[in-house]
Chains A and B, each alone.
Chain A
């Protein structure tokens, strides 16, 4: 609730469905951003209502389009599968049982030479999305804020170190979430920011002690 002029008059999108097409394209873009670049191969799993109606809503075109960097209003989305073949993007699509409690959920496994990621996300209607899981870690990213996904060792002071670096660059933290595999193990920190994060800051976070990786996830349209 709390609609604005442009939430009522929008989004501008490729039809037919804000949840099954626009939201799915945004989830595809999120997976691309989490991977940190163009994927060479992807596996998509459609669940719930997606499993039965993804073809008729062009959800397959939308997710592959998003993974190739198209936004939800990109008129090339109807041609996305053809473009994927031309670009040599290897994709498979399957349907299955629920990956999430939400009726419209999907799983994306994407890889390239540098990395491989697994993401679970839901489309909540009106083009709104939520990424719920990255590589087994619980997260909550809605794609509306420039975000950071940081993997680090679970030890004291990590939040303070990273938060003060962001503060020194005048970057305000809107939302933040921590998860860990086990005490003292690998931990995941997601930070949604009010401001864009520059490449230097991202690199500096990545180079800090006990930080394994820092990836920037720009907002998606």
Chain B
């Protein structure tokens, strides 16, 4: 049997072959799919462009979504913070606004990259584009960050499904936050073990997050949660840069998440049978949709 793809294997392959973490994923993908390096880089380029277009469209979006619960959130926020200082910090609020913008775009049937899912599509690009602007990162660098994010998703995918219906929101926004944290820390010069520490810290704080969308739609709480999850990724990056480590190793954090995915009742896995979906307002909104 093929050994499981884990953070530990990824790290040892990087050490043994003298490749960066991003190069390991590139090589692994070429081996697994038979694709050439250029084809993979073109695929990453295409995704980067779609992400960028979805961000731009989301920031301009004013049209109410099909479920009627989301409208022009990122525009409203941008307007306010162009004249007001955020309590959090300009990088933090920008990241949240970017992530929410793409979340809105997804809810409003815009074109997005599901990374790893449609409902969590704003988190990785929100974090990446916000940091890229501040640090003047090139597209080639962002593509390396995407390879790291993909490698993280591949590790998680070995042990659990990345869908609200199988693992709750931890499996969508939680995983996306971990992918964003690891990918962005790599972009900022993080190497080796610390990249996976960023994943572990971000995900640990989102373990057990349930998927309880109002009316079963990808609108409430999904769109705003993209903003919160993106900010978790930022904090994880700074905590690791500041020298903190997850006491539980990254691979065991994935085990914990997969374990929780099994234990979560199905009422909290995208079925709209519990949580926010079953509140008085949630039920009223849901009834209006029928």
Contacts and interface: CB of A to CB of B under 8 A. Distances in A.
A126 interface: yes
Contacts of A21: 109, 118
Contact of B112 (A5, A13, A55, A78): A13
A17 B157 contact: no
Contacts of B154: 3-5, 8
B108 to A, nearest CB: 7
Interface in B1-50: 25, 29, 32-33, 40, 43-44, 46-47, 50
A1 B167 CA distance: 14
Nearest to A57: B217
B109 A8 contact: no
Counting chain B CB atoms within 10 Å of each CB, which of A2, A8, A11, A53 scores highest? A8
A83 B44 CA distance: 32
Contacts of B33: 4
Interface string A1-43: 1111111111111111111011000000000000000000000
Contacts of B115: 8-10
Interface string B94-110: 00000000000111111
Contact of B67 (A1, A3, A56, A73): A56
A126 B165 CA distance: 11
A10 B217 contact: no
B111 A12 contact: yes
Interface in B119-158: 119, 121, 146-147, 149-154, 157-158
Contacts of A125: 161, 163, 165-166
B165 A13 contact: no
Given A49-B216, A52-B216, A75 B111 contact: yes
A121 interface: no
B219 interface: yes
A52 B290 contact: yes
Counting chain B CB atoms within 10 Å of each CB, which of A5, A11, A73 scores highest? A5
A210 B118 CA distance: 47
Interface string B152-181: 111001100111011000000000000100
Contact of A18 (B29, B44, B114): B114
A143 interface: no
Nearest to A126: B163
A56 B66 contact: yes
Contacts of B161: 1, 125
Contacts of B215: 53, 56
Going nearest first, the 8 A-B pairs with the smallest beta carbon separation are A8-B153, A15-B106, A3-B157, A16-B218, A56-B217, A56-B67, A5-B150, A53-B216
Interface of A: 1-19, 21-22, 49, 52-53, 55-58, 61, 73, 75, 77-78, 125-127
Given A5-B147, A125-B163, 19 more contacts: A4-B32, A5-B40, A7-B157, A9-B153, A12-B112, A12-B114, A13-B111, A15-B108, A15-B118, A16-B109, A16-B119, A17-B119, A21-B109, A21-B118, A52-B216, A55-B289, A56-B219, A61-B109, A75-B110
